[in-house]
């Protein structure tokens, strides 16, 4: 991919080089380098939008999964960071919208002509092809590194990302306190990022 150097910072040009290596050579170190550069910035941007660290970490993983899956479509008309943040923002807005719809569907009550409360129960399990695609991207991203995790973390990641269980459901499944599950999932994500950066020998 040829690109004019005019108007781009050195960091942006380095990103372009990493993208070329990732796409053309399937260079895992190039993917890891891109993740290392922008993981914290993406996480904190998402955290500002949703105010929940657990969901922000999940959505950070999803943003990178989607970006890496579509990296071959990236055009060097603007910086990689701009493109990545747009993906992360749009994905988070979708998450907020779906969460709001689910909350509304559970709590929507109207009054009939007699003044009696009528609950409107809206099914929200529409299997949108785009939703399924996002799920597959997330799973594919996690699979790259998950087999290198210690067994106890591997099980947690399996339940959270592959079986799509909530934190509460995982706590019940493993018969562990909810706080322990959240803490260990947080640690498992840290380990995944360390593995992605080539630091698995320290685990």
pLDDT value at position 80?
93
More confident residue, 69 or 190: 69
pLDDT value at position 184?
86
Dump pLDDT digits (tens) for 118-136.
333 333 344 455 555 545 5
Dump pLDDT digits (tens) for 151-178.
888 888 878 877 778 888 889 988 889 8
How far CA 40 is from CA of 14, 20, 44, 45, in Å, comes to 18, 23, 6, 9
Q: Are 83 and 16 in contact (CB under 8 A)?
A: no
Dump pLDDT digits (tens) for 71-109.
989 988 889 999 999 999 998 888 888 777 554 444 333
- The CATH code belonging to domain 8-122 is 1.10.1740.10
pLDDT value at position 202?
41
Instruction: Give the DSSP letter of residue 200.
Output: G
pLDDT value at position 163?
74
Find, among 33, 32, 47, 36, the residue nearest to 196 by Cα: 32
| CATH class given for the domain over 134-203 | mainly alpha
CA–CA distance, 76 with 97 (Å, rounded to integer): 30
Domain assignments of the chain as residue spans, ordered by start: 8-122, 134-203
Residue 119's φ and ψ, nearest 5 degrees, are -90, 130
Determine how β-strand 117-119 pairs with β-strand 109-111.
Answer: antiparallel
pTM for the full predicted model:
0.54
Residue 95's φ and ψ, nearest 5 degrees, are -60, -45
pLDDT value at position 110?
38
Residue corresponding to tokens 């959505």: 59
pLDDT over 80 at 49, yes or no: yes
């Amino acid at each position: 991919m040829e690109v004019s150097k005019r108007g781009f910072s050195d960091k942006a040009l380095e990103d372009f080089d990493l993208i070329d290596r990732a796409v053309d050579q399937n260079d895992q170190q190039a993917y890891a380098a891109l993740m290392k550069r922008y993981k914290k910035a993406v996480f904190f941007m998402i955290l500002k939008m949703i105010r929940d660290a657990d969901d922000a970490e999940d959505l950070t993983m999803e943003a990178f999964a989607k970006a890496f899956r579509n990296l071959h479509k990236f055009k060097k008309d603007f910086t990689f960071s701009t493109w990545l943040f747009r993906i992360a923002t749009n994905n988070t807005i979708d998450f907020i919208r779906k969460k709001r719809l689910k909350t509304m569907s559970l709590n929507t009550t109207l009054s009939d002509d007699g003044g009696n409360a009528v609950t409107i129960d809206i099914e929200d399990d529409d299997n949108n092809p785009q939703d399924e695609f996002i799920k597959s991207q997330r799973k594919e991203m996690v699979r790259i590194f998950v087999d290198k995790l210690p067994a106890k973390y591997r099980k947690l990641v399996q339940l959270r990302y592959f079986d799509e269980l909530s934190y509460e459901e995982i706590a019940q499944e493993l018969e562990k306190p909810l706080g322990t599950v959240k803490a260990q999932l947080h640690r498992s994500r840290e380990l995944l990022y360390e593995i992605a950066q080539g630091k698995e020998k320290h685990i």
